[in-house]
Amino acid sequence: MMIFMEKSKCLIVAFLLFTISSCTKDIDLNLNDSDPQIVVEGSITNDGESTVIKLTKTVNFDESNVFPAVENAIVSIIDDLGNSVILTETSPGTYTSSLYTGSSGRTYYLTIEAEGKVLTSVCHLTTAVSFETLTVNEVSSSGGGPGGGNMTGYEVLVAYSDPVGVNNFYRFVEYVNGENKGDIFIYDDRLSDGLTVENSLIKFNRNLNSGDTLRIEMQCIDKAIYTYFNSFENLTGGPQSSSTPANPYSNINGSELGYFSAHTTEVKEFIVP
């Protein structure tokens, strides 16, 4: 719901731009170089899947999209009961453990020693909330958008019952034929504490083809991760983003980029008829 409101400004601008017509043009900017930073992408989940921490580095804007892996790091995790593990580098920059998996109620402490730096993070794995239903509707003429009537596509609705009296944070990840589409769908329960919620994963051009597998993963996330993705969405730009861009609020100490998320996970699938 709040996501929709964030997008409302885009909508107005989009509408206005459409009304008065706008054009785009490539532009050559001379952007500064920056020192390479370590980017952490890590998760530990309650579904018995491997714990994976991926370490890469930033490159300059005008370079190719080839992001160097951070190799030979020492990556360890310990929980609040003292269970610990040192992850093994299974491919360059990817550190995993198939035996050390997450469980609800535990808090995980991550330590990374790489390239002379020490990065740390803490994340709590919260109690699971059940992913009740996934509904996908074809919207042939949702109407109204810029250009009117070309907002066709699919509407994806997810439902769950928010537990009363606790702050809950949710993240949904959309995969089409196994590919993460990169959209951020996050919700809190500020306006829906204790209710059965049906949220629409709002996306303006969701084009699916017959036979495609749409997989929606529901995650119950830590507040820090909610903050990370919330700031990520508001800050990292994208067309017509109106905030001053900045790096999102990472929960990694020692680096500005990336996150370490302990979360529950539940998946539902839909095959486009």
Partner 1 sequence: MKIIKLFFLLLFFSSKTTAQTNWIMSGTITDSLSGETIIGATVAIKENPIIGTASNDYGFYSLSLLEGSFTIVISAFGYHKEEVSIDFKQDKFLDIQLLPEGKMIGEVEINATRSNDNVTSYEMGVERLDLNQIKKIPVLFGEQDIVKTLQLLPGVKSLGEGNGGLYVRGGDNSQNLILLDEAAVYNVNHLLGFFSTFNSDAIKDVTLYKGTAPSEYGGRISSVLDIKMKEGNNQKFHVGGGIGLIASRLNIEGPIVKDKSSFLISGRRTYADLFLKLSSNDAVKSNKLYFYDLNAKFNYKFNSKNHLYVSGYFGRDVISFADRFGINWGNATGTVRWNHIWGSKLFSNTSLIYSDYDYEVKIMRDVDEFSLNSIIKNWNIKQEFQYFRNDKSTFNFGVNSIYHVITPGQVTTSGDSDIIPIELQDRQALENALYFSNERKIGTRWNMNYGLRLTSFSVLGAGDFYSYTDGEISDTASYKSGEIVKTYVNLEPRFNLSYILNEKSSVKVSYTRNTQNLHLITNSTSSTPTDIWISSSNNVKPEIGDQISAGYFRNFSNDQYQFSTEVYYKAMQNQLDLKNGAEIRANEHIENELLVGKGRAYGLELLLKKKTGKFTGWVGYTLSRTEKQIEGINDGNWYAARQDATHDISLVGIFDITKKWSISATWVFNTGNAVTFPSGKYELNGNVEFYYTERNGYRMPTYHRLDLGATRYLKKSEKFESSLSFSIYNAYGRKNAYTIDFEEDPNDATKTKAVMTYLFTFVPSITYNFKF
List binders of partner 1 among 226-265 (CB under 8 A). 227, 230-240, 242-249, 256-258
**Residue 79 or 215: which CB sits closer to partner 1?**
215
Which letter does DSSP use for residue 32 in this model?
P
Q: Are 84 and 110 in contact (CB under 8 A)?
A: no
- Binding part of the chain for partner 1, among 24-32, 70-78, 98-106, 209-217 by CB under 8 A, reads 24-32
Residue keyed to tokens 């539940």: 266
Q: Which two tokens stand for residue 164?
A: 């009363």
Total of chain residues touching partner 1, rule CB under 8 A = 86
Residue 85 burial (CB count, 10 A): 15
By C-beta, is 210 or 244 nearer to partner 1?
A: 244
Span 146-205, contacts to partner 1 by CB under 8 A: 148-149, 157, 179-180, 182, 190-193, 195-200
Q: Please give the Cα distance from 56 to 62 (Å, whole number).
A: 18
For residue 46, the 8-state DSSP code is: S
Q: Is 6 helix (H, G, I), strand (E, B) or coil?
A: helix
Shortest CB 48 distance to partner 1, Å:
21
Cβ proximity to partner 1: between 5 and 99 the closer is: 5
Closer of 13 and 128 to partner 1 (Cβ): 13
Residue 141 touches partner 1, criterion: CB under 8 A: yes
> What does the DSSP 8-state code read for residue 74?
E
Between 193 and 212, CB nearer to partner 1: 193
Least distance to partner 1, CB of residue 196, Å:
7
3-state secondary structure 142-201: CCCCCCCCCCCEEEEEEEEECCCCCCCEEEEEEEECCEECCCCEEEECCCCCCCEEEEEC
Contacts of 117 (CB under 8 A, 6+ apart): 38, 254, 255
Find tokens 């992850």 and name the residue: 87
Distance, in Å, from the CA atom of 136 to the CA atom of 134, rounded to the nearest integer, reads: 7
> Of residues 73-132, which lie at the interface with partner 1 (CB under 8 A)?
none
At its nearest, how many Å lie between partner 1 and the CB of residue 60?
6
Quote the CA–CA distance of 164 and 197 in Å, as a whole number: 12
Could you say which of 2, 74, 86, 118 contacts partner 1 (CB under 8 A)? 2
CA angle 107, 111, 112 (to 5 degrees): 145
Q: Which residue, 195, 222, 268, 251, is CA-closest to 127? A: 222
Options 25-33, 82-90, 126-134, 213-221: segment touching partner 1 (CB under 8 A): 25-33
Q: From the CB of 65, what's the least distance to partner 1, in Å?
A: 5
Cβ distance to partner 1 smaller for residue 79 or 131: 131
Residue of 49, 50, 52, 58 interacting with partner 1 (CB under 8 A) = 58
How far apart are CB 141 and partner 1 at their closest, in Å?
7
Beta carbon nearer to partner 1, 84 or 177: 177
User: Please, which residue, 85 or 235, has the CB nearer to partner 1?
Assistant: 235
